[in-house]
């Protein structure tokens, strides 16, 4: 049956998570087979559009209690994430803490400061038992992660677009875990769709002469290499796909010990399409395609090569900056709404 699609996919080892859902879509996703969920700093802005009848009272209540707009925005994020966590809490408890996680990530404008990442992680860990920290794989994020492992907080290493980032984060986690004796759940998130968006933008704006069908494969090829490297090196992590912009950003992951987080709209597309369930994670990519992508697109070479990026270059990598801008825009939208509601509530009727 088509509506059992994700349960059948799970039989291959590949699990599905749900990203930034409304309450109604969250419940449908859990019924369809979602085992955990993700939020990001733009979650509030998305709910402002999809559930204004829920968000407005939340904002009004917090605006009445908190004078600082930035602190109010964080309180709002905690409230909407707690609702998300509450829905997954039964699964978290039934699975013995192996499923039912919900991730949270702080305002990206604080990402360059390890102490800020640590502070927000410890603060958000109080929101729910099934909390998972979402930490960007940049120099400051890796430093923060090495100091957080001893707290045994589950970690979702995010904003991964390159093999170099994946290896650096996994090596750091392995060293830290060995040193402190703690091994909290650890997921590594390759953001395939956003990566493809950035590469396609570069091809168009730089007039790079390359077949669009090859360009469409770039993010998946980089993902498959990351998966192979992780397995070959025996890292204690699970790759988590994110940022899907098409159904292929889900189906190309199938067959491995992988998880993918997608919006409910992509759930619906896949349920409707009910595509064949075949192992794609272990597919062999054409060496000629890889060679042409490496030759013509420098940011593919940086993603694909083991030494394509230095640690200091992670934070300025173009696909990461594109992703980060989406989050900043989302944070700004919530701050704008907070100020708007504050002024409305202060105006005599």
CA-only gyration radius of the chain, Å = 20
Q: Provide the pLDDT for residue 348.
A: 73
Q: Provide the pLDDT for residue 347.
A: 82
Distant-in-sequence, close-in-space partners of 13: CB < 8 Å, separation ≥ 6? 255, 256, 257, 258
Virtual CA dihedral for 123, 124, 129, 133, nearest 10 degrees?
-120
pLDDT tens, position by position, 165-215: 999 999 999 999 999 999 999 999 999 999 999 999 999 999 999 999 999
Residue carrying structure tokens 């979602």: 34
pLDDT tens, position by position, 243-271: 999 999 999 999 989 999 999 999 999 99
Given a cut of 60, whether residue 296 has pLDDT beyond it is yes
Q: Provide the pLDDT for residue 346.
A: 85
Domain chopping of the chain, boundaries: 2-346
Q: What is the pTM of this model?
A: 0.96
The CATH fold of domain 2-346: TIM Barrel (3.20.20)
The confidence band for 2, taking pLDDT boundaries of 50, 70 and 90, is low
Residues 9-26: what's their mean pLDDT? 97
Given a cut of 60, whether residue 1 has pLDDT beyond it is no
Question: Residue 136 and residue 303: Cα distance in Å, rounded?
Answer: 16
Q: Provide the pLDDT for residue 131.
A: 98
Distant-in-sequence, close-in-space partners of 132: CB < 8 Å, separation ≥ 6? 36, 101, 102, 103, 104, 153, 154, 155, 156, 185, 187
Q: Provide the pLDDT for residue 349.
A: 62
């Amino acid at each position: 049956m088509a509506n059992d699609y994700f349960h059948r996919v799970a039989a291959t080892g590949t699990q599905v998570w749900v990203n930034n859902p409304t309450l109604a879509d969250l419940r449908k996703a859990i019924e369809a087979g979602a085992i955990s969920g993700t939020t990001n700093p733009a979650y509030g802005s998305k709910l402002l559009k999809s559930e204004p009848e829920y968000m407005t009272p939340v904002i009004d209540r917090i605006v009445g209690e908190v004078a600082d707009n930035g602190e109010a925005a964080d309180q709002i994020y905690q409230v909407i994430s707690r609702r998300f966590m509450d829905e997954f809490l039964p699964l978290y408890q039934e699975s013995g803490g192996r499923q039912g996680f919900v991730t949270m990530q702080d305002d990206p404008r604080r990402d360059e400061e390890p102490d800020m990442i640590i502070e927000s992680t410890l603060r958000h860990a109080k929101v729910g038992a099934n909390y998972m920290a979402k930490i960007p794989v940049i120099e400051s994020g890796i430093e923060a992660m090495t100091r957080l492992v001893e707290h045994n907080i589950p970690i979702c290493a995010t904003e991964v677009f390159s093999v170099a980032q994946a290896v650096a984060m996994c090596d750091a986690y392995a060293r830290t875990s060995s040193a402190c004796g703690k091994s909290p759940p650890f997921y590594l998130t390759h953001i395939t769709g956003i990566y493809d968006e950035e590469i396609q933008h570069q091809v168009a704006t730089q007039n790079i002469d390359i077949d669009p069908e090859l360009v469409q494969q770039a993010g998946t090829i980089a993902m498959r290499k990351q998966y192979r490297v992780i397995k070959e090196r025996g890292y204690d992590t699970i790759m988590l796909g994110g940022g899907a912009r098409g159904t292929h950003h889900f189906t190309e992951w199938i067959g491995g010990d992988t998880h993918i987080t997608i919006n409910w709209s992509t759930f619906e597309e896949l349920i409707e399409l009910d595509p064949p369930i075949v192992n794609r994670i272990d597919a062999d990519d054409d060496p000629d395609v890889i060679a042409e992508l490496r030759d013509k697109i420098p940011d593919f070479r940086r993603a694909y090569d083991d030494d394509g990026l230095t640690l200091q270059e992670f934070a300025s990598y173009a696909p990461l900056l594109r992703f980060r801008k989406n989050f900043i825009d989302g944070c700004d939208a919530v701050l704008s709404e907070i100020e708007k509601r504050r002024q409305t509530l202060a105006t005599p009727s």
